[in-house]
Amino acid sequence: MAEFKDFNFKLMVVEALMYGHGTLTPVFSIDERSRAAGVDDLYSHVYDNGWEHTVLDESRAFFEALEISDELLATVDELVLDGGNQVFYECSPVWDGEDDLFDVRSLDDLPLLPNLKRVLGVDMVAVPDKEERFAARGVAVVC
C-alpha cells in the first residue's frame, strides 16, 4: 500500500477515487458518523467547539489510516483541486475555503499516480516549482 507524505495530496486522491469514481470504499460520511455519535446539529457542534478552521480529528484519523492500493492509484488520471470538493466537507464541514487549510504543500507523492495526466485548480498547490514538476511528469495543468 502507498504511503503518502502530504495529507492534503492524499485528500485530492481520495476525492477522485471515493467521491468521484466511487471505487474507494467504504465511503466516509461525517454526517452519518456524527449522528451515530449523538450529534444532531453538526454545524453547531463544530462552531461550539471552535473547530471551524481545522480538520476534525475523526476525519483525519480515518483518512490517514485509509489504505489505497497501487491498482486504484493507477486509475487516477485527473485531480481536481476545488474548494467545493466533497472530501473537504467531510474533513471540515463548515470550512469556507478562505484559507490554506487544504493546500497541497508537497508534490513528493506524484510518483504514486503513474497515470496522472491533468490537474485542475493548481492554485491550491503551495509549491514554488509546481508547474515545472507537473510538466516533468507530463501532467497538464489547468488553473
Alpha-helix runs per DSSP H in 4-138? 7-14, 30-36, 42-48, 57-65, 70-73, 86-91, 130-136
% of the chain beyond a pLDDT of 90: 92
* Lookup: cell for 69: 492500493
Buried b (16+ CB within 10 A) or exposed e, 89-105: bbbbbebeeeeebbebe
Find, among 21, 42, 122, the residue nearest to 81 by Cα.
122
48 has pLDDT over 90: yes
- What is the predicted pLDDT for the residue at 43? 93
Task: Taking residues 64-80, report their average pLDDT.
Answer: 97
> What is the C-alpha radius of gyration for the chain, rounded to an integer number of angstroms?
15
For 73-114, the pLDDT digits (tens) are 999 999 999 999 999 999 999 998 889 999 999 999 999 999
